[in-house]
Structure 1
Amino acid sequence: MASDGKITKSGAAKEQSRFNIVIVGGGSAGIATASSIFKRNKKVSLTIIEPSDVHYYQPGWTMVGGGIFSVDFTRREEKRLIPGRAKWIKAAAEAFDPDNNLVVTADGQQIGYDVLIVCPGIKLDWKAIEGLPEALGENGVTSNYRHDLAPYTNQLVEDLAKGRALFTQPPMPIKCAGAPQKAMYLSCSRWEKAGILHNIDVQFHNAGGVLFGVKEYVPALMEYVERYNAHLNFESTLVAVDGEAKIATFEQKTGDKTKRVQETFDMIHVVPPQSAPDFIRSSPLAAENGFVDVDQATLRHIKYPNIYSLGDACSAPNAKTMAAARKQAPVVAVNALAALEGKPPAADYDGYGSCPLTVESGKIVLAEFGYGGKLLPSFPTWLIDGTRPSRLAWLLKDTILPPVYWHGMLKGREWMVKPHQIDAD
C-alpha cells in the first residue's frame, strides 16, 4: 500500500467480493444509513465493514458520568444491530482505491463497490496530551469520552467533598461539543444538592474563545456558570497531566503571547483532542483538514461522485453529534440509491445538529441549530424553548431519546428526519 493511502498496482489483488453499496463504519451513522437504504430498496447488495463486537449509545456516557445511566444501558452487541439483509465484514478498513472502486481491509480483503459510504467516526487522540494515557482512571483523572471511565467520573464526583475540580475542552472539531461543559454542570448540580459546592473550586478550561458556538444559548449557560461559581478560562489548552502529582499543565493565550500555567487538582475531567482517523487522513478521500471531503449539502464527495460520507468523519461544518448523523443518514440513503441508478443527488442536508446541554439534574438547554448557527428547533417554543432550561427537554434526553436511537434511528424509522428533496420548495 502506498503512503498516500492508495493501493499500489504492484501490491493490488483482485477484488474478493463486490457489492452495490459498501459502508465503512458500523456505528450510529453506518447502521442508520444501511437501514434507511433497505427501507427503500430491499434488493440492493450491501456490506458494512466494522471491526467492533460492541456498539455504544455514546450520548449516554455523559449520563453515566452523572450517575443517571449505567454503562450496560448504553451497550448492545453489534451483531444484533446490523440489518439482517446486510453482510457484516468484521474487519477494519485500511485504505481506499477510489479510481478502481475498492476498499482494502487490515486483514487484506479487497472489497469492490458501486457506491461507497464512509462513516468510521472520529479519532480520540489521548496521546496528544503528555502523560494522559498513563494517568487515566486513577488519581482523579477521568473522561466521559470513554465508556470504561464514565463510571469513574461518577465515583469521583460522589467522593469529592472539597478541593479543586478541573474540566477541559480541546480545540475544535470534537464530537458533541457541549459534552465537556455538560460534565461540569452535572457535577456541580450534585455538589450543590449535597451542600458542598462552596467547598469546591470549579474551573473550566476551554481551548476556544467562547462558551458555546451559537450565541443564543450562551445567556442560559452563563446563568449556570455564575450559579455554580465556575471559573471560565478561555484559550486555555490542556497539554500535560501528571496524575501522581495531581498537576495539569495548560497553554494559555493572551493576545499574541502564550504561557504555560500549572494547576493542581483533586479531580480533572479531560476531553482529548480529536481528528479524522489516520486511514482517512492519509487517503485520497481526505480534505485539507483530514476529514472526508464532501459537499456540505448533498454529502457527496467533491471529487468522486459515487462516494458519500456522513457522521463525525465527514468534512461538513456541522456539529458532530448523534442528532446530526440521524438527520444525515436518510439524506445519504436517498442519494446513494440515486447514484446507483446514475442519477444526481436527490436530497440535501441543512446542517442540523442537536446538543442537549444538561445544566442541572432534571433540566436541559436543548440547543438545536444548523449551518451558520441558524436555530432549527424541533418543537414550538411554547412546548420547549431551547434557549432556556427545560424539564421537558430533560425527559427527552433521559427517557425518550435512548429508545428512539435503538428502535427508531438504527431501524431506519425516520421520525422527524424525513430527507428534504432538492427539487422541493
Structure 2
Amino acid sequence: MAALRHLKQCHPRGIAISNFHTSSPASAKQHYKMLVLGGGSGGITMSSRMKRLVGAENVAVVEPSEIHYYQPIWTLVGAGAKTVASSGRPTASLMPSGVKWVKSKVQEINPETNTVRTDDGTVISYEYLIVALGLELHYEKIKGLPEGFGHPKIGSNYSVQTVEKTWKALQDFKEGNAVFTFPNTPVKCAGAPQKIMYLSDAYLRKTGKRAKANMIYNTSLPVLFGIKKYADSLWEIVKKRDLQINLRHNLIEVRADKQEAVFENLDKPGETKVFEYEMLHVTPPMGPSSVIKGSPLADEIGWLDLNKETLQHTKYPNVFGIGDCTNLPTAKTGAAVAAQSAVLSRTISKILKKEKPDKKYDGYTSCPLVTSYNTVILAEFDYNGQPLETFPFNQAKERRLMYHMKADVMPHLYWHGLLRGLWGGPGPYRKIMHLGMK
C-alpha cells in the first residue's frame, strides 16, 4: 500500500513534440541505441524504463496514434459503469520526456540490417529493438461485419468505435436473446467476452427486464475458463443466474438487418446454428501484427518468436518483445505486460553489460473477472495454468474489494505506475502477503 501511496503522488508530464518525421523527406534516416515499436502498454512502459537505462536521447518510439487508450476499462464502458472518455489520454502526455516520438506506422522490420521502415519512407536503424506492436482485430473475418455495426442491437467492447454501441444495445434491450461470443483465435483478455455477459445480466435484473431475457454465451473454447479453479466458481455463477453456455460454438456470420447470428459447431464440421438476438456482443477474431507476420521475426503462425523466460528473440539477440504481439504461452493481458516489463528491463540491462540474463518470466498474468457491478473474481496464474495469487485469501470467490481494485486502483496504477516504468507487477508484494512462502 505504501507503493500505491507513492504512485498516487506521481503525475504524467507532458512533453514538447517534435514533428520531424511528419514533415521529413522519405530519404531521412535516423539511428537509435534503443528503438521501440508500438506506443501501447508495452511500448510506453519499456520506453520509460529504457530512458532510465540508456538516456532519453538514445530512445525512440514509433507510434502513429495521437490517443492512447486504457483498454481494460472498456468492459465497464460497455456496461455503462465508466465513460469512454475516461479511457483515453493524449499519447503526447504519456511519452517520456526527451524520448523521440516517431509519429508514423511501422511498415517493415529488417533484423538482418537492423533497420525499420515507416509508412512515410523513413528508415531508422537501431542497436537494440523492442517490439510491442500488439495484435490485430479481424471483424472482417465474420461475414456481415464490420458493416453490421451500422445497425442497432450490436456492439463490441474490443474497439473504441463500437464499445458505446454495447451500452446502447443493453439499455435498449426489451426481451429475447442476449448473445455473447468468443472467437476461435487467441484473444486479448480472454475473460472479457464473458464479463460483459455477467454485467448485462446484472443490469437487466436491476431494470426488471431479466425475466424476459435469455442470456447466451457461445464460446469456441471447450471450457468456460482455462484455469479450473476459477472455471469452477464461474460455473456456479452461471447455474445460479440461469445463464446458457454453449461450448465449441464459433460466430461466422452476422445478419444485422434480421438480427441473426450464425455459429458453426466446431465439434461437428459443417453444422451451423442460427440465433436470433435482441442484443449481440461480438468478440472479434484476432491475429498477429501483419508487420511481424511478414518479417523474419515471426514464428510459423506469425507471432513474435521469443524465449519465454528472458523475452529475447530466439534468433536475433538484439531483438526483444513484450505484450500481445508475442508467442509467449500465457494469457494476453495488461497484467502480463507489467510482469514482463520488469523481466525484460533486467534482461536488457544484463545484455548491455555483456552478461547473461538472470531473471525469468514465469508467465504471470491476471484476469479480473467482473461478475457484477460490485464483484470480481481475481484470477492470477502462471505458464503452467497454476494459480499465482497475490492476496492471502481465496481469489476464486466473488469479492467487492476486488471490484474496487479493477475499477479504481488498477487504472491509477496503469497511468501513474506501469506507463512510467514504476510498476512491474505484484510479484514482490506476493511474497510479503504470503509471508515469503510464495
TM-score (norm 1): 0.92
Equivalent of residue 248 in structure 1, options 249, 253, 261:
261
Contact 2:154 2:282 in 1 (8 A): yes
Q: Quote how far apart the aligned CAs of 1:396 are.
A: 0.1
Contact 1:115 1:336 in 2 (8 A): no
Structure 2, gaps ≥5 residues long: 1-25, 430-437
Q: Structure 1 residues 178, 99: CA separation in 2 closer, same or farther (over 3 Å shift)?
A: same
How far apart, CA to CA, are the structure 2 residues paired with 1:239 and 1:400? 37
Q: Quote how far apart the aligned CAs of 1:364 are.
A: 0.3
How far apart, CA to CA, are the structure 2 residues paired with 1:222 and 1:239? 26
| Match runs of 1:114-133 below 5 Å | 114-133=127-146
How far apart, CA to CA, are the structure 1 residues paired with 2:160 and 2:269? 37
The aligned amino acid for 1:262 is: V
Equivalent of residue 60 in structure 1, options 53, 56, 73:
73
Q: Quote how far apart the aligned CAs of 1:15 are.
A: 7.6
The aligned amino acid for 1:89 is: V
How far apart, CA to CA, are the structure 1 residues paired with 2:284 and 2:266? 19
Q: Quote how far apart the aligned CAs of 1:338 are.
A: 2.8
Structure 1 residue aligned with 2:199? 186
1:140 to 2:150 alignment: no
Worse-superposed segment, 108-117 or 132-141: 132-141
Equivalent of residue 225 in structure 1, options 229, 232, 238:
238
Over the aligned positions, Cα root-mean-square deviation in angstroms equals 1.9
Q: Quote how far apart the aligned CAs of 1:44 are.
A: 6.3
The aligned amino acid for 2:421 is: G
Equivalent of residue 292 in structure 2, options 262, 280, 283:
280
Contact 1:24 1:49 in 2 (8 A): yes
Write out per-residue CA displacement over residues 93-120 of structure 1, whole angstroms, 9 at most, x where no aligned residue.
Answer: 1111111111111111111111100011
How far apart, CA to CA, are the structure 2 residues paired with 1:130 and 1:288? 26
Q: Quote how far apart the aligned CAs of 1:85 are.
A: 2.5
How many residues get paired? 405
TM-score (norm 2): 0.89
Write out per-residue CA displacement over residues 324-344 of structure 1, whole angstroms, 9 at most, x where no aligned residue.
Answer: 011111221222233333333
Equivalent of residue 385 in structure 2, options 373, 378, 384:
373
Structure 2 residue aligned with 1:390? 399
* SS of residue paired to 1:408: helix
Contact 1:220 1:387 in 2 (8 A): yes
How far apart, CA to CA, are the structure 1 residues paired with 2:191 and 2:265? 21
How far apart, CA to CA, are the structure 1 residues paired with 2:255 and 2:56? 55
How far apart, CA to CA, are the structure 2 residues paired with 1:123 and 1:262? 27
Structure 2 residue aligned with 1:28? 41
Q: Quote how far apart the aligned CAs of 1:365 are.
A: 0.6
Contact 1:348 1:419 in 2 (8 A): no
Write out per-residue CA displacement over residues 100-152 of structure 1, whole angstroms, 9 at most, x where no aligned residue.
Answer: 11111111111111110001110000100001111014231110001232222
How far apart, CA to CA, are the structure 2 residues paired with 1:241 and 1:386? 37
Q: Quote how far apart the aligned CAs of 1:257 are.
A: 4.1
Q: Percent identity?
A: 36
How far apart, CA to CA, are the structure 2 residues paired with 1:78 and 1:228? 41
| Match runs of 1:147-296 below 5 Å | 147-254=160-267, 256-296=268-308
The aligned amino acid for 1:39 is: R
* SS of residue paired to 1:136: helix
Write out per-residue CA displacement over residues 16-50 of structure 1, whole angstroms, 9 at most, x where no aligned residue.
Answer: 11111000000000111111223344366010000
Please list every run of at least 4 consecutive aligned residues from structure 1 whose deviation after the TM superposition is greater than 6 angstroms.
none
1:107 to 2:120 alignment: yes
| Match runs of 1:295-374 below 5 Å | 295-374=307-386
How far apart, CA to CA, are the structure 1 residues paired with 2:287 and 2:124? 26
Structure 1 residue aligned with 2:101? 88
How far apart, CA to CA, are the structure 1 residues paired with 2:158 and 2:150? 12
Structure 2 residue aligned with 1:51? 64
Contact 1:143 1:270 in 2 (8 A): yes
Structure 1, gaps ≥5 residues long: 1-12
The aligned amino acid for 1:228 is: R
Contact 1:125 1:274 in 2 (8 A): yes
Worse-superposed segment, 265-274 or 245-254: 245-254
Contact 1:30 1:119 in 2 (8 A): yes
How far apart, CA to CA, are the structure 2 residues paired with 1:155 and 1:43? 44
How far apart, CA to CA, are the structure 2 residues paired with 1:272 and 1:415? 29
Structure 1 residue aligned with 2:9? none
How far apart, CA to CA, are the structure 1 residues paired with 2:123 and 2:317? 20
The aligned amino acid for 1:393 is: M
Q: Quote how far apart the aligned CAs of 1:376 are.
A: 1.0
Contact 1:294 1:302 in 2 (8 A): yes
Contact 1:207 1:236 in 2 (8 A): yes
The aligned amino acid for 2:35 is: V
Contact 2:177 2:278 in 1 (8 A): yes
Equivalent of residue 19 in structure 1, options 5, 22, 32:
32
Contact 2:135 2:325 in 1 (8 A): yes
How far apart, CA to CA, are the structure 2 residues paired with 1:101 and 1:303? 13
How far apart, CA to CA, are the structure 2 residues paired with 1:293 and 1:123? 17
